[in-house]
Amino acid sequence: MLFSGALTALVTPFKDEALDEEAYRNFIEFQITEGIHGLVPCGTTGESATLSHEEHERVIEICIDQAKGRVPVLAGAGSNNTAEAVRLTRFAQKAGADGALLITPYYNKPTQEGLYRHYKAIAEAVEMPLVPYNVPGRTGCNLLPETLARLAKEFSHIVGVKEATGDMAQGSKTLSSCPAGFSVLSGDDFTALPLMALGGKGVISVTSNIVPGRMAAMCNAFNKGDVAEAARIHHELFPLHEAMFFESNPIPAKTALNLMGKMEAGLRLPLCPMSAAAKEKLAGVLRSLQLI
């Protein structure tokens, strides 16, 4: 299965407001060396909302070039404008990405039929593997299991979903209604292990920006049948999962990586630096895990 295990929703390093290509390449190398199973550039964690089209394309290109086929690259290519999502997905295909991650249209609040037609338009425009991204807490709409199943059955290259509702009942319905081989990936580190226990295939992770090896190890343990070890790692990392949302993602992730010496903590407005109190609390979690 192309997209399974722990895939990192990569942060995008900035230096003096611009993309820091050197830090980004080093960060990708760190992820691969640590044993991550896949890379996801230009998602929410990558601050895609504040990247220009040129920057968005460059971030994807660099990730593909640096990965060099060692792990799959699932490129963020979604938009709340269907025509723009088609354009970005065509670019990802041309650039050589292994698949495209496609967020549900945010703010527009489409109906289920509108969501179906949005993904249908993208699926008809490209031949690459596609993974819808369902995160109602950020988008204001919910891609329901029956709509997803309709798409997966009609288009064989809609191969999975990033399920970030945090709702195990919906995850279970999605797993039971979609075709065999469909990859349901958790979009929340908290629910990665529970969703895998129901039949999910892994996680698109924020926490793995910080500890790619540990998140990969949890998935590896589960897939080997060592549920006790997977659960041990889950509980060990739970404080870090919580810390990644002390403030809006990716503020804590970038702050943690800065404290670890991986990159500058630069963010683009409307995101701003972490408050002193939250930063100290985050540093305490990192120290407890011997990361700083």
Catalytic residues: 133, 162
Residues in Cβ contact with 286 at an 8 Å cutoff, skipping those fewer than 6 apart: 210, 240, 243, 256, 259, 260, 292
CA 199 to chain centre: 19
Distance in angstroms between the alpha carbons of the first and the last residue of the chain? 35
Cβ(189)–Cβ(244) under 8 Å?
yes
> Is 213:34 a contact under the CB 8 Å cutoff?
yes
Report d(CA 41, CA 229) in Å as an integer: 29
Close Cβ partners of 13 (under 8 Å, ≥ 6 residues apart): 19, 20, 23, 24, 27, 254, 263, 264, 266
DSSP 8-state code for residue 158 = B
Q: Residue 73 is encoded by which pair of tokens?
A: 């690259």
Neighbour order of strands in the sheet with 99-103:
38-40, 5-9, 202-205, 183-186, 160-163, 130-134, 99-103, 74-76
